[in-house]
Structure 1
Amino acid sequence: MAGTSLLAACSSNEAGRWVGDYVTANDFEALRGWGVDANSLTRDHAHSGQYATFVNAEREYGLTFDMPLNQASVHPLKGVAVEAWVYLPTPQAAASLEVQVQLPGTENRQAFAGSIKLADQVKEGAKWTRVRQEFAFPAGLPDEAHLRIFLWRNASSLPVYLDDLKVKALE
């Protein structure tokens, strides 16, 4: 009985599909000193802790999560559920949270590209807002394809902040 309760606590059923293990969960607190571009982290705004990643007129992309699909989940990855907290100075800021699957051995050839257009989910500016979206990947992706997730400023010249990113496997 205790094992059943523990198993139920580790997964949830959202939109009729089992959502599996976390692919990644990051609050950007433990990145300093790990070889990432420290300029991608800021203390200007953070949803939790001291750090968040950001984009602005001078920074096109925030930190990028990049991992081969065969390392991202213990089960074949059919998609991901992405959740994050974002801070937009106005709801019109055009930044987006990008989700890509890049084919192995290619510079820019993508097998999948999707995004959370932040202005579609953020209705009120100058406050932290939770965004969430599920992305289903095409069948037959090679195990060596890379899952990439990053904040893109798109056409926004205003600063946009992202914190507390969680990515779960859709299986």
Structure 2
Amino acid sequence: MANKLPQIIGRLAAAGLLSFVAACSGSDAGHWVGDYVTDNDFEAMRGWLPDASSLTRDHAHSGQFATYVGPEREYGLTFDLPLRDASVHTLKGVAVEAWVYLPTPESAASLEVQVPLAGPDSRMGFAGSIKLADQVKETAKWTRVRQEFAFPAGLPGDAHLRIFLWRNATQATAYLDDLRVKALE
């Protein structure tokens, strides 16, 4: 029996592996369809950034921190990642979702989505935005905004996905929290 023990263990391990593979093939495990590029509530940003001055405790949708733009700050924190690192598949676009707080109706802030191409000429491979006032119908209240952006085919992997809050043409303050970016494949 002792010399058959390695064979029995080997068969049990093989049966377990086959069961695991069969279980995974019936689910979405390993398919990475709709993977998240980022999901950020800005809680873990302090201490990681060289300049965390666009983080604020004035308003937050969840936790203690949000990013903001206002009279003294034109841009909020910028998410910046090469496309080749953003998803395991080639990105055909992204679905961007966030919670925003506009204290007054004068805010013209927008959530910008850009894909600048690498190289000396700094051309833009894609540019789009969520005009916050278009989706926020009631001010002084947290509101969920969402929009999908389809990228042009053939963007190189060294192009960067950049997402940031922009004050735009106003001095009004705007807050953003709980940013989620999902890959469209």
| TM-score relative to the length of structure 2 | 0.82
Residue 116 in 1 paired to residue 130 in 2? yes
Q: CA contact under 8 A between 1:83 and 1:167: conserved in structure 2?
A: yes
Q: CA contact under 8 A between 2:115 and 2:160: conserved in structure 1?
A: yes
Q: Could you tell me which residue of structure 2 aligns to residue 16 of structure 1?
A: none
Q: CA contact under 8 A between 1:96 and 1:151: conserved in structure 2?
A: yes
Residue 125 in 1 paired to residue 146 in 2? no
Structure 2 Cα separation of the partners of residues 120 and 47 of structure 1: 20
Aligned-residue Cα RMSD (Å) equals 1.9
What do the CA deviations read for 1:92-133 (whole angstroms, capped 9, x no partner)? Answer: 410000000010124642110000000000000000000000
Unaligned runs of 5+ in 2: 1-21
Which of 99, 104, 115 is equivalent to 1:101?
115
Q: What amino acid sits opposite 2:129 in the alignment? A: S
* Bigger fraction of residues in helix: 2
Q: What amino acid sits opposite 1:72 in the alignment? A: A
Q: Could you tell me which residue of structure 2 aligns to residue 56 of structure 1?
A: 70
Range 36-45 or range 128-137, more displaced: 36-45
Residue 66 in 1 paired to residue 87 in 2? no
Q: Could you tell me which residue of structure 2 aligns to residue 7 of structure 1?
A: 28
Q: What amino acid sits opposite 1:114 in the alignment? A: G
Q: Give the greater-gyration-radius structure (CA).
A: 2
* Bigger fraction of residues in strand: 1
Q: CA contact under 8 A between 2:106 and 2:172: conserved in structure 1?
A: no
Which of 154, 166, 169 is equivalent to 1:155?
169
Q: CA contact under 8 A between 1:54 and 1:161: conserved in structure 2?
A: yes
Which of 137, 150, 153 is equivalent to 1:139?
153
The 1:5–1:131 alpha-carbon spacing in structure 2 relative to 1, beyond 3 Å, is: farther
| TM-score relative to the length of structure 1 | 0.89
Which of 40, 48, 55 is equivalent to 1:41?
55
Unaligned runs of 5+ in 1: 12-18
